[in-house]
Structure 1
Amino acid sequence: MILQTNSHINPEKLSECQFIIGYFFNNTEVLEKALTHTSCKLENNFSNERLEFLGDAVLGMIISDYLYKTLPQHSEGELTKIKSVVVSQTTLAKVSLEAQLKNFLNVGRGLHDRNFLPKSLLANVFEAVIAAIYLDGGLEPAYNFTMKYLKKEVDIVCKNQHEKNYKSILQQHSQKEHGVTPVYRVLQQVGPDHGKLFEVSVLIKGNEYGRGWGKNKKEAEQFAAKETLKMIIPDMAYEIHEINNKACN
């Protein structure tokens, strides 16, 4: 249950939180501050706003250091693309839930009737906890906590980078330039059930662009998005193609 009170967090809850995240604080007040949302800000600006600011910087440094050391063959551009996904609000909210930080948040009464908390709130508390650990114990425990939850996310991005770039970049471009999300339409499927091939086309505002074949709809959509990028922004498509021809490991 989320704590929904303007009082300080119960010491038993703080102890449970430390056990779950795997770090025990010398000063539990910094952890309590990291878990206190601004919606129930207490005296002396007691909330996690400033810790979020610091945690964002510490997180960026940790992920940059990890990527630099573990992916020596990757260019600055490739490392930046991977990092942008790993430190995104969506990813941080995901690992925040895995760390069970939601169970220990001190939030204002205005959030009590929500079925779920905003991604931004979940991501911010993860960054705040990183900062709290950094202030309490230094860089090493902050590094260990961060990579405990984000190493697998780096691996996922590396493994699926070639599958994600085309559709995501096309979507960003289409929403920016046309105000719509691309639509993918299955044109045909051929072959037996155990070996079907799918052909998919991209529609933007009702106009058909690239087509692609794949062993499943998802793969076909990626190839269709790739062909569309070649048609509408060839320089970017070429860059993505070059990046995705390199393995992440």
Structure 2
Amino acid sequence: KNPEGDLTNWRSALVKTESISEVAKKLGYEDYLLMSRGEATSAGRARQLILANSFEAVVGAIYLDQGYDVAKKFITKNLISNLPEIIENKLYIDSKSHFQELAQEKEGITPRYEVVAEEGPDHDKTFTIAVKVGEKEWGKGVGPSKQLAQQAAAEDALKKYQN
């Protein structure tokens, strides 16, 4: 019924770190994790990874303790139940591609990404990137690589575009 590529994209969206960490947050795992003060106050990628890993550890523990069927039930209830939202909101498309589709559809122009700032030493740079459609700036993003900063800029633009 659905093309193979869509199914692969949906699966990827379900199991990516961001999705799994959101499930772990909803289940309250943050309250049970001991973290350094720096990690506890951080909202970044490392924190998401810790939360995602905690969810995966619980799945593994359920499997070892209670078997495949119980683990499958837990995954279905807490993770796979998010699939309709992922499909409806096109969360399986990365932010940059999604914003490009919207900009081309609504404005007839491909967005362009510009480096606004580069900070830090070569081995630990932080990039700030703006995304523009025509001359209008739609969003800004910050990240440890140009690619991640572009994704963050596209996410920011999508939030503004949808409001």
Which protein, 1 or 2, shows the higher relative CO under an 8 Å CA cutoff with sep ≥ 6? Answer: 1
- Of the candidates 161, 169, 176, which is equivalent to residue 97 of structure 2? 169
Which protein has the bigger strand share? Answer: 2
Where does residue 79 of structure 1 map in the other structure? 7
Per the alignment, in what secondary structure is the counterpart of residue 165 of structure 1?
coil
Distance 1:156 1:136, change over 3 A: same
Partner of 1:192: none
Question: Of 104, 128, 132, which residue of structure 1 is paired with 2:32?
Answer: 104
5+ residue gaps in structure 2? Answer: 115-131, 135-156
* Percent identity of paired positions between Structure 1 and Structure 2: 25
Match of 2:146 in 1: none
Distance 1:166 1:99 in 2: 25
Deviation at 1:145, TM superposition (A): 1.1
Partner of 2:48: 119
2:87 matches 1:158:
yes
- TM-score of the two chains, using structure 2 as the length reference: 0.56
* Structure 1 unaligned spans of 5+: 1-72, 172-181, 186-197, 210-216, 223-249
Number of matched pairs: 115
**CA deviation vs aligned residue, 1:143-174 (integer Å, no higher than 9, x gap):** 1111221133211112122x763743367xxx
Q: Which residue of the partner structure matches residue 204 of structure 1?
A: 112
TM-score w.r.t. structure 1 length? Answer: 0.38
CA RMSD of aligned residues (A): 3.6
Q: CA deviation at 1:202?
A: 3.9
The structure whose Rg is larger is 1
Query: How far, CA to CA, are the matches of 2:111 and 2:55 in structure 1?
Result: 38
- The amino acid that maps onto 1:133 is I
